[in-house]
Amino acid sequence: MQGEMLEQRKLVPYSHIGEEGEKRSAQDLYQLRMAAEQGDDMAQTVLGLYYLKGKEIAKDFEKAVYWFTKAAEQGNADAQSLLADCYEFGRGIEENLEKAVYWYTKSAEQGDAYGQLVLGFLYEEGERVEKDLQKALYWYMKSAEQGNARAQAAVGAFYKFGLGTPQDEKKGIYWLTKSAEQGDEQGQFALASWYSVGEGIPKDEEKAVYWYTKSAEQGHARAQFALALCYHYGEVQDKEKAVYWYTKSAEQGDADALLALSCCYKVGVGVPKDEKKAIYWLVKSAEQGNADGQAALGLCYFVGAGVPKDQKKAKYWLLKAAEQGNPQAQAALRFGMRGKRNFQKKKTFDF
């Protein structure tokens, strides 16, 4: 969840701040600027957002930082979290994590749910500030209690795994359900995963499929893969739906889904057999770092299964897989590549 959240915050900065109303006329913008220059902290924050987003005026991160600073120094919590984001990611000002944490804390202490969420994330991540799971949970809980769905998902996970607090399955389910019911795709995925495994709670595949579907429909790649597995191997199997969701996940670059989709085309599960498509998706999986995919691709090159024989490419991919501890690749390198075993007899495309 950590890496996903960080990337979302980098790619969609400040989405936690809503739109600032209808399109403003030139006169409206003039009045907004005048109010900001006269010290109105809300006007300063909104004007900063206009510069940040390039909405109706030219995008200018430096001017955005200027106005956020003015408002933040007056105690505007939204401006404080916006300014903190600028310092964290170096937008319009030199990156400075110490100042970012300072302003996130100021915002969080005033009850800003987004600032609280980010502080929780930073203390959980522990790469840019000293890791402190108790502080992480403290700030996640503050944000969750205000209804922030992503914070609720984090709190649920903390209770589920006993991070910074004693393990408590009931509280874990409570918070993950709150998050999922608000439509947070990460909360939905986490809740579905829990029902799928059934650790500490009754296993319930129907609920797992329900929440995986909710998350998958929002584009969550791992949920799409998990849902495909349910349709492929679960209680109510539907191979065509399995391929559909494998494809959705694979198109987002999920390495496991890429490999699974390759298998489907190789053996004709949910789709007609197609050697070319099987190899296409297998290569994608290997390139994404999936050790099983790398091993399978290496063996394909070694025996000429679906691709021309190529000992150099075979060794390249087998080494990649072996470095990740893949036993099949290690065995092939130890015996097959040295001629001590005849792997050509096997015609391996075994995942």
Calculated CA dihedral for residues 63, 65, 67, 71, nearest 10 degrees? 180
CA 179 to each of CA 13, 106, 155, 173, 211: distance values in angstroms, whole numbers, following the listed order: 21, 25, 10, 10, 11
Phi, psi dihedral angles at 97 (to 5 degrees): -70, -35
- Angstrom CA distances, 342 to 76, 170, 302, stand at 72, 55, 11
Q: Which of 145, 144, 141 is nearest to 164 (CA)?
A: 141
Q: Cα separation of 34 and 347, whole Å?
A: 76
**Is the Cβ–Cβ distance between 154 and 172 less than 8 Å?**
no
306 in Cβ contact with 300 (< 8 Å): yes
CA atoms within 13 A on the CB side of 177: 8
- Check residue 4 and give its pLDDT: 58
Tell me which H or E stretch contains 278: helix 275-287
Extended strands (E) in 163-213 = none
Per-residue pLDDT of the chain (351 residues; tens, 9 = 90+): 555 555 444 433 444 444 444 566 788 889 999 999 999 999 999 999 999 999 788 999 999 999 999 999 999 999 999 999 999 999 999 999 999 999 999 999 999 999 999 999 999 999 788 999 999 999 999 999 999 999 999 999 999 999 999 999 999 999 999 999 999 999 999 999 999 999 878 999 999 999 999 999 999 999 999 999 999 999 999 999 999 999 999 999 999 999 999 999 999 999 999 999 999 999 999 999 999 999 999 999 999 999 999 999 999 999 999 999 999 999 989 886 554 444 444 444 444
What pLDDT is stored for residue 127 in this prediction?
A: 79
Q: What's the whole-model pTM score?
A: 0.83
Ordered by where they begin, the domains of the chain are 231-288 (1.25.40.10), 289-351 (no CATH)
CA 283 from chain center: how many Å? 23
Per-residue pLDDT, 185: 97
d(Cα 275, Cα 307) in Å, to the nearest integer? Answer: 9
Chain-centroid distance of CA 196 in Å reads 20
Q: CA quadruple 87, 41, 22, 50: dihedral positive or negative?
A: negative
The three-state secondary structure class of 217 is: coil
